[in-house]
Amino acid sequence: MKWVTLGLVLMLVSALVAPAVAAGGERYSYITVEDVTVQLEKADAVVTMNYTIDGGIGFLVLLLGKSDLKQKVLDILNFNNAEVQRLDLEHVEVRVKNVSSDYGQGSYWLPAHRFGVVVPSLTIITPQDVKHYEDVSDFPDGLGYFA
């Protein structure tokens, strides 16, 4: 009985470790990022990310809870003052307070930002414009906009 239990524990550990070792540009541990959208609302933002989770890991997340998944998606997005609003096995919605600097009279500046992975498709939505980027790990120049 001890050998069966040990075997199950080793299989569980290898399922968690193998995806982390194989992580590539848009992968972080067992998560593969598909796209990120940043919707700017005055100085705040709503950030959504769509992703896939490695096959057997989804079951473990449901079984053991979403706290590890939550921490990993926050690490990927890499924003300060981020609060998860909605989290499931394919999508996260995060509200980020004061992501942009307020320069008064309705003008704002979104500073440079680095994500924890390469984002295959990044969309930034301001009240005036929509910017789209592909295969980026950072947003180096920042972006000015009016609310």
pLDDT score, position 139: 87
Q: How far apart are the first and last CA of the chain?
A: 64
The model's pLDDT over 40-87, given as tens digits with 9 standing for 90+, comes to: 999 999 999 999 999 889 888 988 899 999 999 999 999 999 999 999
Radius of gyration of the chain (CA): 18
CA distance 90 to 6: 31
| Number of neighbouring beta carbons within 10 Å of residue 66 | 15
The owner of tokens 């705040």 is: 44
The pTM for the full model equals 0.83
Closest CA to 102 of 14, 41, 19: 41
What is the share, in percent, of the chain residues with pLDDT greater than 90?
74
For position 19, what pLDDT does the model report?
45
Which of these ranges, 21-25, 26-30, 57-61, 141-145, has the smallest mean pLDDT?
21-25
What is residue 56's predicted lDDT score, i.e. its pLDDT? 86
Q: Which residue has the tokens 């100085």?
A: 43
pLDDT digits (tens, 9 = 90+) for 110-125: 999 999 999 999 999 9
Grade residue 2 by pLDDT with cuts at 50, 70 and 90. Answer: low
Q: Whole-angstrom Cα distance, residue 26 to residue 51?
A: 10
